[in-house]
Amino acid sequence: MQMAAIITSMLVIPRKPTNNLSTFHRTLASKRCRISSKAAANSFKPYSSHRINVPCEVTRRSGDYKPPFWDFDYIQSLNSEYKEERYLRRASELEVKVKMLMEEAIRSLETVEQLELIDNLQRLGISRHFEDQIKNILNAIYYNKYYGKNYGTLKERNLYSTALEFRLLRQHGFRVSQEVFDCFKNEDDEFKASLGEDTKGLLQLYESSFLLTEEENTLDQAREFTTIFLQKNLDQNFIIDENLSLLVRHALELPLHWSVPITNARWWWKSTGLAVKLPFVKDRVVETYVWPLGSIAPREYGYQRIMTAKITCLMSTLDDIFDIYGTLEELQLFVDALQRWDIELIDQLPEYMQICYFAVYNFINEVAYDVLKEKGCIIIPYLRKSWIDYTRSILQEAKWYHNGHTPSLDEYLNNASISSSGPAVSTHLFFVLRNSTQKKAADDLYKYHNIVLWPSMLSRLVDDIKTCSEEMQRGDVPKTIQCYKNETGANDKEAQEYSMFLIRETWKKLNGEPTVDSPFSQDFIRCSINMGRMSHYVYLHGDGLGVLHPGIKDRTIDLLFKPIE
């Protein structure tokens, strides 16, 4: 089977920060958001009973957002012949054949060939169909190599097979030690310079290094070592194999572990009337759908993707209202109304806010009704809390902007882990995924578990790096870079490097989260991690939502409309 080189995401790997920077730390944002359903009902601020009077002289800012690339009628005209019965039947036949081949692979293929087969299936984005077979292969490899009689042969293997095995085992929850790479170091505890000639092995070691957790210095060292030599091999045209050269270029721009495996909402968005009634907000329903498409891969999760696209559209609308258009008094009024959860209070809101409030109210009830009907669970308290926390966090950012206040970096990031909308999106997704209604998991979700917070933090950090200049030009709350510069006196380059450092540290924390004994389903864990990965994809070439550049259009076409060839 030929390896499928379909990694389209690109990001330059940064250098280590030049300053002596402390390890990234923060207080979990959930501590200020830990509200029981009963407490939440009793902790709302008093609500004004009169409708706000908006002065005629209020100056409204504009985000100057461009019209969407995608015409509504064009989107509705699209169709795929692959939904026809003959193609679905053929896909089922091929799935059975591949499963048979994988069963045969366990008996006949060498270990490295088995690993390459799994790697190919993952790169093609179809490995979910063969999870049992993949688990059987990796279990056999792990217990034979690391617990069986062959454990001592680890040092006899080459760099390519060692790194490939390490990466795949770690991806699937096996805790393989970084010490497996010690045999490739010299007496000075540095990777041997002779490895620089093994581009194929270097590439696998590079990809493996991104599955590191905190305090794993060997893998940190491996990332720096392989980055230097892979870039050198490219610059000197040392790589003859064109396919290998392409893989190296893509990996240096965005590693596999930071990439998403697969990189009817339009009707709903048009029916809400938000894009027409609120012309100052972004109309980005197609680009918004890219997030759940990349995060929620299984074909049978169509409803979950549509639901996630809906909440992302609504939160993008609220973000524009709070960032650009609304006055502080109006924004506080909206948050208070959401806390009270009374549709009759809609008359107290400014006219432009009424349609948005009604859309949010209806959406929460729609999702809650679907879950109650399918699973018998009452989830409105969970959904409400996620929206209340989200609007409180973006209100806090609006206050910082209007008051001309630059928060400390810790203060900003604690708030940003919620304002990025990740916890709210994950809360809704949790309840609509299958096997996701266990009480322990729901309780952990209510407090915003780390498996939710770290991907959310990734989204905020990547967003801040890629969209900072445009947002600061129009007027926005200080971002990660501005907060760090204000706090330390760093220049732009140092602040950029520190932001990339925070991204790597956040990935370490996310990599260290247990997945095997987690209270959450494997589907939810995969979706949550993929949400963090999608930020790298969407913001690869800059602002993938606010400023429409040709790169995001081309990538959206590749992901949505072009078949894999």
Is the pLDDT assigned to residue 366 strictly greater than 50? yes
How far apart are the two ends of the chain, measured CA to CA in Å?
Answer: 15
- Alpha-carbon distance 106 to 167, whole Å? 19
Mean pLDDT to the nearest integer, 205-226: 95
pLDDT digits (tens, 9 = 90+) for 291-329: 667 777 666 788 888 888 888 888 888 888 888 888 899
The answer to whether residues 367 and 428 touch, using CB atoms and an 8 Å cutoff, is yes
Residues 6+ apart with CB under 8 A from 153: 145
- Alpha-carbon distance 461 to 412, whole Å? 11
Structure tokens at 367: 């999702």
Instruction: Using CA atoms of 36, 421, 282, 527 in order, give the dihedral in degrees to the nearest 10.
Output: -120
Domain ranges of the chain: 85-258, 260-560
Is the pLDDT assigned to residue 205 strictly greater than 90? yes
The answer to whether residues 124 and 4 touch, using CB atoms and an 8 Å cutoff, is yes
Mean pLDDT to the nearest integer, 341-348: 86
- Alpha-carbon distance 286 to 538, whole Å? 12
Task: Output the DSSP codes for 91-105.
Answer: HHHHHHHHHHHHHHH
Mean pLDDT to the nearest integer, 543-550: 57
Residues 6+ apart with CB under 8 A from 377: 371, 431, 437
Most confident among 120-129, 352-361, 545-554 (mean pLDDT) = 352-361
Is the pLDDT assigned to residue 339 strictly greater than 60? yes
Is the pLDDT assigned to residue 563 strictly greater than 90? no
Is the pLDDT assigned to residue 57 strictly greater than 90? no
Query: Of residues 98 and 34, which shows the higher confidence score?
Result: 98
Query: Of residues 357 and 155, which shows the higher confidence score?
Result: 357
Neighbouring C-beta atoms of residue 104, cutoff 10 Å: 10
Name the residue with tokens 């609308």: 317
Task: Output the DSSP codes for 376-441.
Answer: ----HHHHHHHHHHHHHHHHHHHHHHHTT----HHHHHHHHHHHTSHHHHHHHHHHHSTT---HHH
Mean pLDDT to the nearest integer, 46-52: 41
Handedness of CA 499, 501, 502, 507 (dihedral sign): positive
What is the structure's pLDDT at 380?
Answer: 92
Residue of 211, 273, 199 whose CA lies nearest to 238: 199
3-state SS class at 291: helix
Q: Which residues face 149 on adjacent strands? A: none
What is the structure's pLDDT at 239?
Answer: 86
Domains 85-258 and 260-560 share a fold: no
Split at pLDDT 50, 70, 90, the class of 30 is: very low
Query: Of residues 390 and 148, which shows the higher confidence score?
Result: 390
- Alpha-carbon distance 551 to 542, whole Å? 9
Give CB contacts under 8 A, 24+ apart, made by 473-479: 474/61, 474/62, 474/63, 474/64, 474/324, 475/61, 475/324, 475/401, 476/323, 476/401, 477/323, 477/397, 477/398, 477/400, 477/401, 478/400, 478/406, 478/407, 478/412, 479/412
Cα 57 from chain centroid (whole Å): 41
The answer to whether residues 18 and 309 touch, using CB atoms and an 8 Å cutoff, is no
Is the pLDDT assigned to residue 97 strictly greater than 70? yes
Query: Of residues 429 and 121, which shows the higher confidence score?
Result: 429
Is the pLDDT assigned to residue 26 strictly greater than 70? no
pLDDT digits (tens, 9 = 90+) for 242-284: 888 988 998 998 898 988 765 433 434 455 555 556 655 555 5
Q: Which of 67-71, 336-340, 516-520 has the lowest mean pLDDT?
A: 67-71
What's the CATH architecture for 260-560?
Orthogonal Bundle (1.10)
Split at pLDDT 50, 70, 90, the class of 74 is: low
Split at pLDDT 50, 70, 90, the class of 392 is: very high
What is the structure's pLDDT at 212?
Answer: 94
- Alpha-carbon distance 529 to 451, whole Å? 8
What is the structure's pLDDT at 7?
Answer: 20
DSSP label at 50? S
What is the structure's pLDDT at 418?
Answer: 94
**pTM (2 decimals)?**
0.71
Mean pLDDT to the nearest integer, 423-436: 86
Query: Of residues 42 and 66, which shows the higher confidence score?
Result: 66
Neighbouring C-beta atoms of residue 73, cutoff 10 Å: 7
Cα 139 from chain centroid (whole Å): 28
Query: Of residues 254 and 61, which shows the higher confidence score?
Result: 254
What is the structure's pLDDT at 81?
Answer: 61
What's the CATH architecture for 85-258?
Alpha/alpha barrel (1.50)
- Per the prediction, the chain carries an average pLDDT of 78
Query: Of residues 227 and 311, which shows the higher confidence score?
Result: 227
What is the structure's pLDDT at 35?
Answer: 28
Most confident among 53-62, 159-168, 268-277, 523-532 (mean pLDDT) = 159-168
The answer to whether residues 509 and 212 touch, using CB atoms and an 8 Å cutoff, is no
Query: Of residues 373 and 543, which shows the higher confidence score?
Result: 373
Residue of 424, 420, 357, 416 whose CA lies nearest to 386: 424
Structure tokens at 564: 């894999």
Is the pLDDT assigned to residue 37 strictly greater than 60? no
Mean pLDDT to the nearest integer, 206-229: 95
